[in-house]
A and B are shown apart, each in its own frame.
Chain A
Amino acid sequence: MSDEELAKDLGPLAALTIGVGTMIGAGIFVLPGDAISQAGSLAGGAFVLGGVIALFTALSASELGTAMPRSGGAYFYVNRALGPLFGSVAGWANWLGLAFASAFYMVGFGAYVRNIFGLATGYALVGLEIPTVKAMAFGGAALFVTVNYVGAKETGRLQNVIVVLLVVILAVFTALGVMRAEPANLPESKGFGAMLSTTGLIFVSYLGFVQITSVAEEIKDPDKNLPRAVIGSVLIVTTVYALVLVTMSAAVEGGFVAGLPADEIAVVEVGRQVQGGLLAGALLLGGLLATASSANASILASSRINFAMGRDRIVTPELNEIHGRFGTPYRAIGITGALILLFILVAPISTLAELGSVLHLVIYGLLNIALIVMREADVDGYDPSFTVPLYPFTPIVGALASFALIAYITPLVQWLGLGFVIFAGAWYLLYARSRTTEAGELADWILSRSDEMPDSAVTAAESVAPDGGQYRVMVPLANPEHETDLITLASALAKQHGGTVVATHIVTVPDQTTLSHARDNVDELDDGEISILDAAREDAETFGVDVETHTIYSHRAFEEVFDAARTYNADVCVMGWGPHSHGRAESRVDELTSDLPCDFLVLKDRGFDPDHILVPTAGGPDSELSAEVARDLQVEYDSEVTLLYVRDDDQSEAAATEFLEGWASEHDLEDAELVVESGDVESAIERRARSASMLVVGATERGLFQRLVGGSVVMDVVDDVDISVLLAEKKRSRSLKQRLLGND
């Protein structure tokens, strides 16, 4: 067998039992009593409605799963399609949703333990009344968390046996019940409102199918087996739930279930009525196994979500450390376990169920939207072997139905759910945004069409874009002659910071031509850009730095540099400057240049030779940037660096030297040659430049770009020296006040 076959060892039945095993415990062994009390004869309807909503999402999950069989499932698809803001929401919702659901299963488990051993409803401990169910739930949860922490592989296979046993027990229960069923027994309907809120409560019974996608990478032949398992598990459990609910309603006298005392388990008592002690015993055992297997599978699935979140840096990858001996993701499991234990202690069982439901409804809604985005953005390499029928109807209904059901959940739980969503959003903005790197297909799609999209959408996509904490050097390329020098400089900087070179070619499209037409007819417009990016890639790769290349079509080439710098999260932009570099900047220059999206380094290229770098400084933020660049080049090329300070006539030589020494050590350039001159600044620079090979100048506060592109006088010095000149200007943004008042 190949490694691939060995690594993917979940067959169709195993995949199906993950789904069925996770779902069947909660739905049928814990909730029917509450459902019948709440919805009356429509309790079965509530389960069927839940199943239908789940089925729409199951279809979407199947398509996404066959296209991207990766660990992490629903979270992974949402993050990939909608970007890390929604990814954070989906990841946290999935993680916490599973923890709430597990806590709920364990409280159910506790009820079964209490019934089996005939324990009292509570006992006193140091003056406190401890409910037995919660104590047993706590103990059970601690046991199953430990099992997953230690990683006994036998539990996985046991799961398959349990699922088959459960289906058999429930089939016998249904068969015996149907023989006794009488329509007259059906309790009164409590109306559709009651049915919908019951659906919200029992929806926790439909979480399992999406956990199949979280182990998608392990499924054998996922093209076939994944959709079968996902859709099949929903169909199976919906059928089982419906039959069991009908049996429970019709096989015993009306009001029997609703009239049971709170400490008795409805399905077991109905079994006792239908057959007697044997069936009741089987159902007790079944409930014990079912709730345990649901919790066990959920704990396992949540560690996959954690892994996928850590992989994308939504949470710290430290969470994913594998235990040296057990081979388990012990930190993720430990934290999930602690959450489960906490939730068991603080929340009542129905709140746990509803929180599990509401968080999963959020994920399901987002999952359906993710599918629409993947289809509409026509993502490269998105090639699902299973496609949802009746697109776009199916995912639209799936998303609407999932979000709509949230409206029928208890208000307190709605608020808590909203709180979690806000928390996850804030988590992204405050923690994950500076760490994660992928913007998601939706943002890429919007930003690649920024001319056609409404400004608000573009701004929104930009303002939540991740910045990855990674150093990104963007190089807008226009003139092939300077390509090598620009990329060499950019690669040297990227290499020093362990960063990436982002080479962009901006193709100017005449106003008469639409951008989409331009994209489709690349060859007619310009055949230089493909080769310039190829050359850029080759040059950057010789430095061993990562390279990205992008072609951008725009009506306004110069302004596009700024947009691209934002889109690709550049930390610094290295660009050439010359009469033909990037077209003419038009009237928006003033507005543009008062906001610089990143640091800019503009190279007046007269051959790239970093042998001896001259850095004139007068302090200030822009000369800080020139110092940084000089230091990077010094490290990379072992360059000789000369710092030049031109003192005013009223400053003493000693004070000037002291300033320059301080400045040099502040910028880690102690080993540079320090030169203090007096007199005219420009002639001092020109004089010193004669023995240097490259001049790095910080732009003055007045704004380099305004003067460069506005065509006004540029520092004469740039033209008067005959070596390459690098102009450095720091990122800067106008404050809101400055924007409103319109001054710089």
Chain B
Amino acid sequence: MRDLLAKPLVPIANEADATATLDALLGRLDADATIVVCHVIEKAGGAPDKASVEQREANAQDVFALVRERCADAGVDVQTRIDYGTDVADAVFAAAADVDATAVAFTPRGGSRWLRFLTGDTTLDLVTTNDRPVVVLPDAGDDTDDAEEGVDA
């Protein structure tokens, strides 16, 4: 069987997400693996966005800088890309198809039900509406996240 993590597409939202995801992912890769990190800029689709596109592109580059540094230290090949879409999960799978990724690998970002309701439950979308394997990585910091937010009981 082909290795699922030979060329995973890794959606990353922010710097904390990047750290958590790479902590979980880098140790599980084979020597010749390549990862494709993508950041999705969520578009409102016909209404003003919640933040400037340029602002979020700059933010994505900051996150990518962290990703490249971590991957260089670990000796893992990495590509980065910015994708745009009204639905984050759809954009992630479109990107995965585009680079012919072996799987989509991500760390659930936790959070209370209330927060998920407000911000959209991307984790659920990623694992329910997919057209290729999805690898859900453990989040070492998950417990502390929940403890901090303290609502998700």
Contacts and interface: CB of A to CB of B under 8 A. Distances in A.
Contact of B54 (A70, A156, A328): A70
Interface residues of A, number: 38
Contacts of B130: none
A18 B47 CA distance: 8
Interface residues of B, number: 32
A325 B51 CA distance: 13
B42 interface: yes
A10 B47 CA distance: 6
Interface string A138-157: 00000000001011110111
A11 B46 contact: yes
A14 interface: yes
B17 A324 contact: yes
A377 B52 CA distance: 29
Contact of A3 (B16, B82, B109, B119): B82
Interface in B1-33: 13-17
B45 A322 contact: no
A192 interface: no
B47 A160 contact: yes
Interface in A111-161: 148, 150-153, 155-157, 159-160
Contacts of B51: 151, 303, 307, 322, 327-329
A218 B47 CA distance: 9
B111 interface: yes
B44 interface: yes
A148 B53 contact: no
B87 to A, nearest CB: 10
Interface string A1-19: 0010011011100100010
Contacts of B43: 6-7, 9
B52 A326 contact: no
Contacts of B55: 71, 307, 320, 322, 329
Contacts of B53: 7, 71, 217-218
A301 B51 CA distance: 9
Interface string A320-349: 101011111100000000000000000000
Contacts of B15: 324
A322 B15 CA distance: 11
A215 interface: yes
A3 B57 CA distance: 12
Contacts of A301: 48
Given A71-B53, A304-B52, A322 B47 contact: no
A157 B44 contact: yes
Given A71-B53, A322-B55, A328-B51, A156 B44 contact: yes
Nearest to B110: A325
Contacts of B68: none
Nearest to A324: B14
Nearest to A8: B53
A152 B50 CA distance: 8
9 contacts: A6-B85, A7-B53, A9-B45, A9-B46, A151-B119, A153-B49, A156-B46, A157-B46, A218-B48
Interface of A: 3, 6-7, 9-11, 14, 18, 70-71, 148, 150-153, 155-157, 159-160, 215, 217-218, 297, 300-301, 303-304, 307, 311, 320, 322, 324-329
Given A9-B45, A156-B44, A215-B52, 20 more contacts: A9-B44, A10-B48, A11-B46, A70-B54, A71-B52, A152-B118, A153-B44, A155-B47, A156-B46, A157-B44, A157-B46, A157-B47, A217-B52, A218-B49, A304-B52, A322-B14, A322-B56, A325-B111, A327-B51, A327-B119
